[in-house]
Amino acid sequence: MKISTHAIVSNSDMIKSYKTCREKAERCGKIFVLKNNQPDAVLISAGEYEKLSAIIEYIDTLDDAERALFIEKIPTVIVKMA
């Protein structure tokens, strides 16, 4: 998984300055929270959440065969990140 250095905050930064981190997530779409220099959590903006929720809700309506076809059409780069 590739993580932009602009979208990284430490766990302690998140605890100390949540508002700043939330604003950064709004600008970047998402930020990665590191704990002991390892990805620990992701904070996503409300807008990003709405986009992802729509996709997830659509996938939930598919039967197994339709879901398999949908997954086949996802670009390889996205599947490798999951």
Average pLDDT estimate for 22-47: 92
Q: Are 32 and 7 in contact (CB under 8 A)?
A: yes
* Closest by Cα among 13, 45, 39, 43 to 31: 43
Task: Tell if the pTM clears 0.85, that is, is over it.
Answer: no
- 40 and 55 in a single domain? The answer is no
Considering the domain architecture, whether residues 39 and 63 belong to the same structural domain is answered as: no
Query: Do residues 33 and 43 touch, judged by C-beta distance below 8 A?
Result: yes
Same domain? For 10 and 40 the reply is: yes
Give the residue-averaged pLDDT of 5-14.
Answer: 92
**56 shares its domain with 77:** yes
Which structural domain, as residue segments, surrounds residue 64?
47-81
- Shared-domain flag, residues 57 and 33: no
